[in-house]
Chains A and B, each alone.
Chain A
């Protein structure tokens, strides 16, 4: 398996534009997680899914952020409209089960820059 795949790896956009980040989890993994990391705020877990269903989105910072998982092999994190303070590295991770029992596999991240 190729591991968790994220695209794009780098994204530069202008304030106000819509940004869509994509993630393909490892086949067979039931859990998917979206993280964000910045120098100012550190690492944050934004939302996680179990069997394509969002379980907890309490980490999502604002209504401008939305995440979907239309099927077991694809998830998106959308920011609309984007703002400079959204600049960060966004990580996607997947696991066979909840973190208490299973290892989490992280993707390489998407570095987002909002000008």
Chain B
């Protein structure tokens, strides 16, 4: 059974710091990796997607993949209080966009 594990947190970081969110996955054949952000009581947002062939940077966000250790990270530079949310990791196999989701990590950025 495919599993995706995340520390539920909360992860608390000061404003301006780098927030590092991690996610481990069990299926070595996984090829697609997603990060969603969800504010409390709101709909999710897909904020990052990477294939198994590389990392990706988008503004203050960087997604990094370590295939050997089977984990994927989301780094948020210059964290802002508005980044406070739950971050969900999802991992997919092959070309499918039907991933397995982790339960999410709560991030709190305090002023």
Contacts and interface: CB of A to CB of B under 8 A. Distances in A.
Interface string A36-75: 0100001111011000000110110000000000000000
A73 to B, nearest CB: 20
Contacts of B76: none
Contact of A107 (B43, B99, B104): B43
Interface of A is mostly: strand
Interface stretch (A13-21, A22-30, A79-87, A98-106): A98-106
A43 B43 contact: no
Contacts of B38: 43
A4 B96 CA distance: 23
Nearest to B4: A42
Interface residues of B, number: 20
Contacts, number: 51
Interface of A: 33, 35, 37, 42-45, 47-48, 55-56, 58-59, 91, 93, 98-100, 103-104, 106-109
A55 B102 CA distance: 23
Interface stretch (B22-30, B44-52, B64-72): B44-52
B103 interface: yes
Interface in B1-58: 32, 34, 36, 38, 43-46, 49, 51
Contacts of A44: 101
Given A42-B104, A43-B36, A56 B97 contact: yes
A61 to B, nearest CB: 12
Contact of A45 (B43, B45, B97, B102): B97
B43 A100 contact: no
B74 interface: no
Contact of A42 (B43, B49, B97, B103): B103
A111 to B, nearest CB: 11
Contacts of B99: 45
A56 B99 CA distance: 11
